[in-house]
Structure 1
Amino acid sequence: MCANTYRQKLAILMVVFMIFGSFGSSLPMAFAEEDAPSQEEVQVKIKADVSPGEISYNENAVLELEIENGEDVEIRGIYVDLTEVGGEEKVEIDTELKEITIAVDYATTSGVKILPVTATDTDGNQHNGEAELTVAPRQFVGEADFDWDQAIIYHLLTDRFFNGDPSNDDPYGVGYDKDDPGAYQGGDFKGITKKLDYLDELGVNTIWISPVVENIVHDVRHSDTPHITPYYGYHGYWALNFDELNPHFGTMEDFHQLIDEADARGMKIMLDVVLNHTGYGLKEDDAALDDGSIPFFPSDEDRQRFDGMLRTNEMLRGVVDREIKGELAGLPDFITEDPKVRQQVIDWQTQWIEMSTTPNGNTIDYFRVDTVKHVEDTTWFAFKNELTKKMPEFKMIGESWGSNPNNDHGYLNSGMMDSMLDFNFKNHARNFVRGSINTVESSLQQRNELMDNTKTFGQFISSHDESRFLTELGQEENLGAQMVAASLQITAKGQPVIYYGDELGLYGEDNHPYYDNRQNMPWDEIEGNVVLEHYKKVINARQKFPEVFARGSRNLVEGSGDLGYSIFKRAYEDESVIVGLNINTEETDATFEVPYGRRTTLVNLYNGETVNVSRNNEVTVTLPSMDNGGTVILVASDEEPEGAFWTYFYILIGVGALGIAGAVIYKRVKSK
């Protein structure tokens, strides 16, 4: 065979092998493509809509998704990118609800914002969509209007504040002995209304009142021992009927009058609400206890209201996740993971926006939410969504025991809560007045950086669930410590939460069932109370510079534990406030630089005195002793410094003289 023929045959064989190889390798591919749907066929289509489509930074909106999923692909997770409105890059959307509430950072510019949405299926494929939201400028309604992060909150127990109507003290005919600290004391809506001027003069702009719904009537003490006080649901956390007002507190007309009168003073109402549980005696198994031996025990009709909604004893056996699916202090627990139960519980609470609306159109503004960590997240997502749909400006502050800016338990910037209670702040305050100034100041500077209007915290130093500040400090007569702690609290970033009576220097132990920390407000101690006057001064200073204190930076200017004082600067945009806090038993002089340029006079908002600034921008101030309030708050004076008129007059004379001299010289030169 010649070489050419051999090469020809070899070439033909190679071509044949290539053809068959190509054909053979394509067969599985062809069959696979025929058996499996194409990527286009399994594409999940996401339609995203935001309502309302236009909001300011002080409002919320709900992002709602429609997912077209013809092949029934299982969705593993859904996320929205909220960086355009100042949020996180990857915020999870509940796959059951397919909705989430959106917040806007106050630094976000106005205009149309695109919010990318991504759904991931179980195979790891990503499916994309997007929504539009228009951010509009904030419109204020009247001079008294304020932003959510500028709230100064006064927390009171309605029953313990003031008795404005003795006729409703015993609506069920129980026969309370008011000498028993666990009995109803008579406080009501009319009582709060009569004391609104007191709260207005104090300077607070938000009133947090205990739950208003009808509570169980019976005495829940577990012993008949004479020294154990009877214990009733005066605090409001043991609901009997979520549809009705607690008759101890008054009528709907009384409640509406409170809301209208508060609004007339530029004050907002925050209701305390409970979604985790009902009152004792209301679950199905409790019928066995109803033998007539417990006066006013819930009836079968009362239990029927919650039929199928509460965990039974059988359901509680063997439960692992007791934090969410257990009973808190033995209270009947809602099965909120059941969608029907969840919706009913949410409906009971959200209806109070309409029920609270007065003939004048005013209503409640905020919720404080009880026992947040004891309810699964889907309920909080759904609750927030429903509230936002009803009232975009409606806000919630949650109570999750132990939460703080370093650990918000996942409830902020997630579509659930707008704020959380800061359980660490009372420790900062206690450590500060004990001398740990450097450590506390460092912690508060860090805390400052962790918050904005979409993720803020309510700082308190006392509450109805803990001993009062002075009792925890172990120095019940140290009113100076209370005053300096209050200054630290009120001048810090976040929402100051003042527990009723703190402004009077009250103390009391968290001693169940007596609860000396929940005493009746002692109105006879108001006149001449130095602690009260202190609170008024510091709150008034915060009210004059709301943005500085709600949003401003925090930097230490001077001070240490060794010196016994801290001087720090709060600043926002072109405004600055210098705060000095002294824990020494004697007044103390401090010299430091101030950031007010060529300004020669400052004013101390705490006592109204002026302070002179040296040529090198330094001031020397005398910090009052801790027993005398220990507080200085310096701002640039609105008035011209003393002698400024004559300074400007002589400057003008000098400028005028120079002008005349120049004109004379010019005329002589020109004449030559």
Structure 2
Amino acid sequence: MKNSFPLLIFMVLLLSACAVKQSEKVDTKPDVPFIWENANVYFLLTDRFNNGNANNDVNFNRTKKSGKLRGFMGGDIKGITEKIKEGYFTDLGINAIWFSPVVEQIHGSVDEGTGSTYGFHGYWTRDWTALEPNFGSEEELSELVQTAHKHGIRIVMDVVINHTGPVTDMDPFWGDEWARTEPQCTYEGYESTVTCTLVKNLPDILTEKTEEVELPKALLEKWADEGRLEKEMDELDAFFIATGYPRTPRYYIIKWLTDYIRKYGVDAFRLDTVKHTEASVWADLWKEASKAFEEWKAVNPDLVVDDNPFFMVGEVYNYGVSGGRWFDFGDKKVDYFANGMQSLINFEFKYDATKSYEEIFSKYSDALNGPLKGYSVINYASSHDDGGPFDKQRTKTIEAGTKLLLCPGSSQVYYGDETGRSLDIEGTVGDATLRSFMNWDELEANSDINGVAVQGILSHWQKLGQFRAAHPAVGAGVHLQLSAEPYYFKRTYKSSDYNDQVIVGLDLDNGVKTVDVKGVFKGGEVLKDYYSGTKVEVKNGKVELDTDFEIVLLGS
């Protein structure tokens, strides 16, 4: 593989990008089925993406000076909806949006040696039954889901069961019946990863508990003050009577989380800190989430997008595709795919991304059509809590997009991957450097990111994303190299009711390209090169293109 693209491709990318409008429609086949194994998932921190309502920026007197990038910055649910309506996600070929948790966060802040920190990231729950007002209202969440569905985009809600938020002067401990505050995890084996606190002052929910517990007094008082105590208690009574579950911590939280499915019709859960909780918890959540999704569909037939069942993807930190269905704790192996998860986040891709195209693509195709057949992984190049991403300095933004979006499996676009948003912010401590506000200003100004114009980066990711969105074979198909030099491969996807195939060429010469498509496309068939926008007809088993790009993305 060539180490860098010639200057010419960047100039052409820039010129072509200038013609890309944020609101333009994607040219995709209308009958293309949505397949989770081919999903192009956009992951964003709700607080750091787009501020759609400046009136909700400060709540609960959260005015204490925080460490750099460790306070709320104004992003919200309405801001996400605005970008859906503008066509930003559609233009990028995104068909699923995963946003960080939006339930009510702790009101206070904590300093763990990284500066005063508020729960802007969404992982410090105070009340699972309420939305965080900094992020928005129930009406705004409902609008977000319905707007996404109208644009063919699924909603992945990020959920936490493992822990509450830290204890502060404003946020009381849930009590010894609900959580533990020690020992802290040492990660030496299964028990020291599961029955312990992730870090100091992050109470670990007693998900293994079998004895029934009362609700925390502080939570009951909060509900009473908000005028919804009776409603919440009645709903809990109905849930436990209907399911027969004991009133233990895990089932209270499962009820609260599945309410978001029943009420709003979210399509999927991203499960936080999976390996720190008993696998059976996730199996129980899957059972109730699936039931809730079918209930929502029955009540809202006009809002149903398709026949896909509820979907769950797990964050098993350090899981890699090479592990197949198993995660190894050292003293115990767990199959999370057998416990409600259809996919796991793949922490291995960032290392594989340093390899050649064929090494990556053949490895992932073999894994997903072998040990992981029927399941999938979500690949990423960068993320919110991985300090060693593939391209931290943003010097390989074009290469990162090519490898991520053309790799078998689902793809996770972390907000700003497509615009070169900096992952190395001076003055930050820890993972805050990965969580700056979306660089809309640099996109508007078409700033230079290490020699590449932002709009040129975006154009590259858009073309690849739209190709993936139009062709399930890209992520869910079987990979086969057609030639090594020049490098071409095909992907083939077959199901009981849909077939798809594509041919891709990478690191090609600019100018005229003759592509052998025999055995894939028929004579007389008109194909589209999704990178240049050129349409060509198959003649004598070949197509000929004359483009200024080193990439060819052929599909019908």
Aligned residue number for residue 388 of structure 1: 290
Q: Indicate the larger mover: 247-256 or 383-392.
A: 383-392
Amino acid at match of 1:344: P
Post-superposition Cα deviations, 1:96-133, rounded to whole Å, max 9, x if no partner, equal: xxxxxxxxxxxxxxxxxxxxxxxxxxxxxxxxxxxxxx
Checking the alignment, whether the CA contact within 8 Å between 2:345 and 2:378 is kept in structure 1 is yes
Aligned residue number for residue 216 of structure 1: 106
Q: Separation in 2 of the partners of 1:509 and 1:363? A: 37
- Match 1:269 to one of 155, 162, 186: 155
- Match 1:405 to one of 312, 316, 321: 321
Aligned residue number for residue 555 of structure 1: 480
How has the CA–CA distance of structure 1 residues 444 and 143 changed in structure 2, closer, same or farther, with 3 Å as cutoff?
closer
Question: 3-state SS of the aligned residue for 2:111?
Answer: coil
Shift of 1:357: 5.0
Shift of 1:312: 4.2
- Match 2:379 to one of 454, 459, 470: 459
Give the root-mean-square deviation of aligned CA atoms: 3.2
Question: 3-state SS of the aligned residue for 2:253?
Answer: helix
1:350-499 to 2 correspondences below 5 Å: 350-355=255-260, 357=262, 362-392=264-294, 393-407=309-323, 408=325, 409=327, 410-431=334-355, 436-450=356-370, 454-467=374-387, 469=389, 471-472=391-392, 476=394, 478=395, 481-499=396-414
Amino acid at match of 1:394: F
How has the CA–CA distance of structure 1 residues 451 and 247 changed in structure 2, closer, same or farther, with 3 Å as cutoff?
farther
Amino acid at match of 2:137: T
Q: Indicate the larger mover: 597-606 or 267-276.
A: 597-606
Checking the alignment, whether the CA contact within 8 Å between 1:509 and 1:515 is kept in structure 2 is no
Aligned residue number for residue 437 of structure 2: 520
Checking the alignment, whether the CA contact within 8 Å between 1:336 and 1:375 is kept in structure 2 is yes
Post-superposition Cα deviations, 1:619-670, rounded to whole Å, max 9, x if no partner, equal: 5667866xxxx4210124xxxxxxxxxxxxxxxxxxxxxxxxxxxxxxxxxx
Q: Separation in 2 of the partners of 1:602 and 1:195? A: 31
Matched residue count: 450
- Match 1:508 to one of 423, 430, 433: 423
Question: 3-state SS of the aligned residue for 2:400?
Answer: helix
Q: Separation in 2 of the partners of 1:373 and 1:543? A: 31
| 5+ residue gaps, structure 2 | 1-29, 214-246, 295-308, 328-333, 447-454
How has the CA–CA distance of structure 1 residues 196 and 395 changed in structure 2, closer, same or farther, with 3 Å as cutoff?
same
Is structure 2 residue 206 aligned with structure 1 residue 338?
Answer: no
How has the CA–CA distance of structure 1 residues 329 and 314 changed in structure 2, closer, same or farther, with 3 Å as cutoff?
closer
How has the CA–CA distance of structure 1 residues 632 and 468 changed in structure 2, closer, same or farther, with 3 Å as cutoff?
farther
Shift of 1:453: 7.5
Q: Separation in 2 of the partners of 1:468 and 1:317? A: 21
Q: Separation in 2 of the partners of 1:536 and 1:344? A: 44
Q: Separation in 1 of the partners of 2:361 and 2:272? A: 30
How has the CA–CA distance of structure 1 residues 461 and 593 changed in structure 2, closer, same or farther, with 3 Å as cutoff?
same
1:142-291 to 2 correspondences below 5 Å: 146-176=34-64, 180-197=68-85, 198-223=88-113, 229-281=115-167
How has the CA–CA distance of structure 1 residues 613 and 381 changed in structure 2, closer, same or farther, with 3 Å as cutoff?
closer
Q: Separation in 2 of the partners of 1:515 and 1:316? A: 22
Q: Separation in 1 of the partners of 2:551 and 2:371? A: 25
Checking the alignment, whether the CA contact within 8 Å between 2:187 and 2:193 is kept in structure 1 is no
Checking the alignment, whether the CA contact within 8 Å between 1:487 and 1:631 is kept in structure 2 is no
Post-superposition Cα deviations, 1:538-594, rounded to whole Å, max 9, x if no partner, equal: 221122222x234321101122xxx5x632101124532111222x8x748765532
Q: Separation in 2 of the partners of 1:541 and 1:635? A: 8
Shift of 1:343: 4.0
Larger Rg computed on CA atoms: 1
Q: Separation in 2 of the partners of 1:634 and 1:499? A: 26
Q: Separation in 2 of the partners of 1:315 and 1:506? A: 34
Shift of 1:498: 0.9
Q: Separation in 2 of the partners of 1:242 and 1:353? A: 11
Q: Separation in 2 of the partners of 1:390 and 1:356? A: 6
Tell me the TM-score normalized by structure 2.
0.73
Question: 3-state SS of the aligned residue for 1:430?
Answer: coil
Shift of 1:211: 1.0
Checking the alignment, whether the CA contact within 8 Å between 1:190 and 1:250 is kept in structure 2 is yes
How has the CA–CA distance of structure 1 residues 179 and 200 changed in structure 2, closer, same or farther, with 3 Å as cutoff?
farther
Shift of 1:232: 1.6
Aligned residue number for residue 541 of structure 1: 467
Q: Separation in 2 of the partners of 1:280 and 1:541? A: 43
Checking the alignment, whether the CA contact within 8 Å between 1:337 and 1:376 is kept in structure 2 is yes
Checking the alignment, whether the CA contact within 8 Å between 1:606 and 1:632 is kept in structure 2 is yes
Post-superposition Cα deviations, 1:316-354, rounded to whole Å, max 9, x if no partner, equal: 899972111121122211221112478433432443443
Question: 3-state SS of the aligned residue for 2:117?
Answer: coil
Percent identical residues: 30
- Match 1:327 to one of 189, 197, 202: 197
Question: 3-state SS of the aligned residue for 1:401?
Answer: coil
| 5+ residue gaps, structure 1 | 1-141, 282-295, 637-672
Is structure 2 residue 199 aligned with structure 1 residue 297?
Answer: no
Shift of 1:183: 0.9
Q: Separation in 1 of the partners of 2:548 and 2:483? A: 16
How has the CA–CA distance of structure 1 residues 505 and 470 changed in structure 2, closer, same or farther, with 3 Å as cutoff?
farther
How has the CA–CA distance of structure 1 residues 370 and 624 changed in structure 2, closer, same or farther, with 3 Å as cutoff?
farther
Checking the alignment, whether the CA contact within 8 Å between 2:360 and 2:407 is kept in structure 1 is no
Amino acid at match of 1:167: N
1:69-80 to 2 correspondences below 5 Å: none
Amino acid at match of 1:245: L
Is structure 2 residue 483 aligned with structure 1 residue 578?
Answer: no
Q: Separation in 1 of the partners of 2:184 and 2:177? A: 12
Amino acid at match of 2:286: K
How has the CA–CA distance of structure 1 residues 186 and 231 changed in structure 2, closer, same or farther, with 3 Å as cutoff?
same
Shift of 1:234: 0.7
Q: Indicate the larger mover: 482-491 or 162-171.
A: 482-491
Shift of 1:488: 2.6
Aligned residue number for residue 48 of structure 1: none
Aligned residue number for residue 631 of structure 1: 551
Higher relative contact order (CA 8 A, sep 6+): 2
Shift of 1:143: 6.7
Question: 3-state SS of the aligned residue for 2:55?
Answer: helix
Question: 3-state SS of the aligned residue for 2:179?
Answer: coil
Aligned residue number for residue 593 of structure 1: 516
Tell me the TM-score normalized by structure 1.
0.61
How has the CA–CA distance of structure 1 residues 202 and 220 changed in structure 2, closer, same or farther, with 3 Å as cutoff?
same
Shift of 1:162: 1.0
Checking the alignment, whether the CA contact within 8 Å between 1:567 and 1:581 is kept in structure 2 is yes
How has the CA–CA distance of structure 1 residues 373 and 600 changed in structure 2, closer, same or farther, with 3 Å as cutoff?
closer
Checking the alignment, whether the CA contact within 8 Å between 2:51 and 2:75 is kept in structure 1 is yes
- Match 1:532 to one of 440, 455, 458: 458
